[in-house]
Amino acid sequence: METIPPPASDANSATASSEDRGSASPFAEGFDRPILAFIIAIHVVPIALCLIFPSWPGIWAMVVLYVVTGLGVTIGYHRKLTHHSFKSPRWVDHTLAVLGLLAGEGPPIFWVAHHRKHHKFSDTEGDPHSPRDGAWWSHMLWLLPRQSKMKLGSLYGKTASDLVRDPFYASLETTYFLWHGALLLAVTFAGWAWGGWYMAGSFVAYGFFLRMLLLLHATWMVNSLTHMWGYRSYQTKDQSRNNPLVGLLAQGEGWHNNHHHYQASVNHGHRWWELDFTFLVILLLACASLPLSWIGLGAHRPVYNLKFYSHHHQGVRVLFPGD
C-alpha cells in the first residue's frame, strides 16, 4: 500500500478576516438564553430523576446509549463529516449523523462548522473554544454567546458548505428536537416494556438525561483538557495534548495531539497503548464490508478507504481500498 506523507499542520496556516476571528467581546450580541437554559436543565434534571428512579437496568440503558450516540459523534460528526477520514455510502453518513444529533451536541452542520473553525485557528484568536481564553470557556462557556442567524449562516457557508448543500443535513437543523422527542418516547416505551412505569422513569433518567450530560462533558473535555494536560507526541503549532482519561471517556478522541498532527487520520491512537475504541469500531465495520465486496456488492460496503496514520512510517496508508 502506498504511503502518503502527512502535510504540514494547517491548523493555523489560513489567513482570516476579522469576522472569522471574532469580535473583542464574545457577548457583544448577548447571551443565548435557550442554550443557557439547556445547560442549566441538563445538570439539574438528571440528578433529580436519578435520585427518584434508581435502577441497574436504567444504568445499563445509559451505557448502551452512551456508546451508540457517542459513536455517532466520534465516527459520524468528527471523523467522517468533518475530516473525511474514510469513505462510506450516503445512508451510512445519514445514519451516523442522526446518532450524533441524539448526543445533544447540536445538529451536524453546527458541530462541523465550529470544529473546522477550531482547526483553522487552533489556540489562536478566532478559535471558538481555546483554553487560552479560560478553562471553563473552552469547556462549555463558549456556547453561551448569542450568534445571530446571519453570523451563523456566514460561518456555515465558509466552513461547512458541503453539508449545507445536502438537503438531509439542512433538514436536521429544523427537525433537531423532533429526533430527541422520538428518542425520549422510545426510551420511555423500552423502560415500560421492561418493568412498568417505574422502569420507564429510570430509563428516561439514566438512558436519556444522565447519558446526555455525561456525553456532553466527555466531548467538552476534548476542547478543554486535551489542550491543557497530557503529553505531546508531535510538535504541532497549537497546544493539543494526548490525555489518556479523555481518550477513555470520549471513546478515543482524547489522543488529541495525534489528531492535530494529521487531522484526516481515521485512527487517533498512534501507539499500541493509545486505545481508540472509535477506530476499532470503524475497523470492524470495514472488515464486515469485505464479504460484500467478494460477492460483487462492493458499492454497499459500510466503510472503506480508511486513511490510517502509521507513527512508525510517519505517513498515511489507505486500508480497505475501494472505488
**Does residue 261 sit within a domain?**
no
Per-residue pLDDT, averaged over 122-143, amounts to: 95
* pLDDT on residue 283: 96
Torsions phi, psi for 51 (to 5 deg): -70, -30
76: its cell numbers: 459520524
**Does residue 280 sit within a domain?**
no
* pLDDT on residue 102: 98
Torsion over CA: 186, 191, 193, 196 (sign) = negative
Give how many domains the chain has, as a whole number. 1
Give the separation between CA 117 and CA 128, rounded to whole angstroms. Answer: 7
**Does residue 40 sit within a domain?**
yes
The per-residue pLDDT for range 62-95, each reduced to its tens digit, is 999 999 999 999 999 999 999 999 999 999 999 9
* pLDDT band of 24, cuts 50, 70, 90: low
Per-residue pLDDT, averaged over 33-51, amounts to: 95
Residue appearing with cell numbers 455517532 = 72
Per-residue pLDDT, averaged over 200-227, amounts to: 98
* pLDDT band of 318, cuts 50, 70, 90: very high
Cβ proximity of 265 and 255 under 8 Å: no
**Does residue 132 sit within a domain?**
yes
**Does residue 255 sit within a domain?**
no
**Does residue 292 sit within a domain?**
no
**Does residue 21 sit within a domain?**
yes
The per-residue pLDDT for range 148-158, each reduced to its tens digit, is 889 999 999 99
Single-letter amino acid, residue 155: L
Q: 120-124, 236-240, 287-291: lowest mean pLDDT where?
A: 287-291
- 239: containing domain: 3-245
Per-residue pLDDT, averaged over 222-240, amounts to: 97
DSSP H helices in the chain: 18-21, 33-52, 56-71, 90-101, 108-120, 135-139, 149-159, 161-164, 167-174, 176-202, 211-224, 244-249, 256-261, 277-294
* pLDDT on residue 70: 98
* pLDDT on residue 129: 95
Cβ proximity of 308 and 319 under 8 Å: yes
* pLDDT on residue 172: 97
* pLDDT on residue 160: 96
Residue 298 has pLDDT above 80, yes or no: no
Percent of the chain scoring above 90 in pLDDT: 82
Give the separation between CA 183 and CA 99, rounded to whole angstroms. Answer: 10
* pLDDT on residue 80: 98
**Does residue 262 sit within a domain?**
no
* pLDDT on residue 147: 87
